[in-house]
Amino acid sequence: MTSPYLIAILAYLIGLTGLSVFLSRRVKTGADFMVAGRGLSLPILVGTLFATWIGSGTIIASAGLSYRVGISALWGPSGAWLGIFLLFFIARRARRLKAFTIPDLLEARYNPAARLLGTLVTVIAYTVITSYQFRAGGMVLNLVGGIDPEVGMAVTAIFVIAFTAFAGMVSVAYTDFVNGVILTVGILVSFPMILADAGGWEGLTRSLGPEFFAPFHGETEGIGAMNLFLPTLLLLLGESNMYSRFFSARDEGVAYRAVIWWIIGVVIIETCVVLIGTSGRILSPDLAARYPELANPSELIVPHLILTTLHPAIGILLLAATAAIIVSTADSFLLTPAVNVQHDLWERFVRPWLRAPVLKPDNHGSDHSIETQKSSGNGPPERRMRRLCNFLPESPTDRERILFLRVVVILLGIWAYLQVTFFPNVLQAALYAYTMYGASLTPAILAAFTWKRATPLAGACSVATGMITTLLWEFALQPRLSGSALGEVDPVIPAVLLSILTLVVVSLISRPPEREKWQPFFDAG
């Protein structure tokens, strides 16, 4: 017999996809697809900010960590809380710039190289984040319906790709609002029930040792707390999805006020999730024995408690919302790199190059004449490839933009799905992706708004340094340092330190930027 939980999840996801198809009729321009026509109201903006951040990193990774270490798992979410607080002072100015993407900002403040590097980092990091949303979706479908995890991941991937490709930011924002409301209500209703089943706060503190309520325990001891705190802080401060929401706001005031409600909601919900995971230590101490096939069964504690401790009516609602919030996070992290590829790579560099006239040497091999792309005959591969693009109009049309974006969403979704096996668990994948993005881009992004002396060369060098250091430390150095003190240091610390050092040193030894480079980023709000 098919599980009612599975039926509810699939029905909910199908309903969201139907809503996406309906909303796709609103997509008339590339701006509609990328930034929802810059028309999001305060409630919708708060909902999409909230639902984008609260994903499997919270429901799966953070809850699983709290099952293992207790409330010290809050070191991870608290990095995001500080990041949101700091974004409060940037949101208004970010919206005023009327950009589409973070690489837009990087080129405006620095140079085209910074734009290219920003696009590369975003594609690498965000497809990893999308991939572990697929993994989390497969875990949930396996738990509630006995579906093979591989099949569950494929089903999740199909929903995410289809959902995102239909309407872009329009569908993402409005369905995020629905998902955010349902998840918030579900968590706030279920949290006191689960805590009561664990004996209340008194029973929780009595049943668990004091180490579960200490600031450092287990994986958060020593350098572990910073390994959790810094990646989330750095990701949030430079997170493309959050800035794209600011770019989508109706006006600067809406972007500014949305951050206030966003931080309130995130602090409440992430604290509740950590306490739910900690309560699970009492309610299901044998979790590893229940799921012996999983390398990290603690990551299933929230959906497990929903199934075993809550009334089915509440459980069905909360599980459906959990699955939907995973999908919401995945589609946001899939849409952003797709927009970057289309807007920051194709339209900014590749398409103009394909449309440029081809220089043909004369008989003496010195002077050159312009050969239009409509010329016939054979020639070098570069010339022949450009001739293949004669069908492209001189300027990109909205129809071209939307079609291109949908194709890129599908291709990047497939690439994200292929990355699922790269990391053994959600937490490890999350920390790697957060570090790749945060250490590479966040120092340059923050400097753009806070340091007039930051130079174009320094911005590009900082991004490159953070990216290269993260890759080398994660895949080359850390495995060789296993067992030593340095082996316990995650890439985030060396990567962000070197990225900031590069930004400062190169800025101080290079020519100061022109006033027009930094002035738009410092206009008073």
* pLDDT of amino acid 389: 61
Q: Which two tokens stand for residue 460?
A: 């590009």
E strands along 185-315, which residues?
Answer: none
Tell which wins on pLDDT, 515 or 90. 515
Highest mean pLDDT among 268-277, 363-372, 426-435: 268-277
- For 326, list phi and psi in degrees, rounded to 5: -65, -45
CB crowding 417-431: b at 16 or more within 10 Å, else e: bebbeebebbbbbbb
Question: Whole-prediction pTM value?
Answer: 0.83
pLDDT value of residue 370 = 47
The yes-or-no verdict on residue 385 having pLDDT over 80 is no
Please report whether residue 253 resides in a domain.
yes
pLDDT of residue 1 exceeding 50, the answer is: no
- Between the two ends of the chain, the Cα-to-Cα distance in Å is 59
Mean pLDDT along residues 179-199? 88
Asked which of 21-35, 243-257, 293-307, 332-346 is least confident by mean pLDDT, the reply is 21-35
Q: Average of pLDDT values for 453-466?
A: 96
Picking from 53-57, 60-64, 362-366, which range would have the lowest pLDDT averaged per residue? 362-366
Q: With respect to residue 493, please indicate whether it lies within any of the assigned structural domains.
A: no
pLDDT of residue 316: 84
Name the helix (H) or strand (E) containing 369.
Answer: strand 368-371
Residue 36's pLDDT is 61
Tell me how far the alpha carbon of residue 380 is from its chain's centroid: 41
Q: Which two tokens stand for residue 473?
A: 């430390």
The stretch 193-214 carries a mean pLDDT of 92
Least-confidence region, from 69-83, 161-175, 278-292: 161-175
Interhelix angle 4-23/169-197, nearest 10 degrees: 150
Q: pLDDT digit string (tens) for 70-104?
A: 999 999 999 999 998 888 888 788 878 877 789 99
Number of domains in the chain: 1
How many residues belong to the chain?
A: 525
* 467 within a domain of the structure (yes/no): no
Residue 476 falls inside a structural domain: no
Confidence of residue 106 (pLDDT cuts 50, 70, 90): very high
Mean pLDDT of 105-122: 95
> Looking at the predicted structure, is the pLDDT value of residue 237 above 60?
yes
Mean pLDDT (whole number) for 125-137: 90
Mean pLDDT confidence for 166-184: 75
Domain CATH number, residue 43: 1.20.1730.10
pLDDT tens profile 470-499: 999 988 888 887 777 777 788 999 999 999
Q: Is residue 24 part of a domain?
A: yes
Q: Residue 38: left if φ>0, alpha if ψ -120 to 50, beta else—which one?
A: left
Q: Is residue 99 part of a domain?
A: yes
What integer best gives the mean pLDDT of the chain? Answer: 84
pLDDT at 357 over 70: no
pLDDT band of 62, cuts 50, 70, 90: very high
pLDDT at 506 over 60: yes
Whether residue 359 has pLDDT greater than 60: no
Question: Residue 100 domain-assigned?
Answer: yes
The answer on pLDDT for 360 being more than 70 is: no
Query: Is-contact 490 438, C-beta < 8 A?
Result: no
% of the chain with per-residue pLDDT over 70: 89
474: which residues sit within 8 A by CB, 6+ positions away?
Answer: 432, 435, 491
Domain assignment present for residue 326? The answer is yes
> What is the DSSP track for 49-93?
HHHHHSSHIIIIIIHHHHHHHGGGGGHHHHHHHHHHHHHTTTHHH
Burial of 381 (0-12, 13-18, 19+ CB in 10 A): exposed
Percentage, residues of the chain above pLDDT 90: 40
312: containing domain: 4-352+397-424
Q: Is the pLDDT of residue 60 over 50?
A: yes
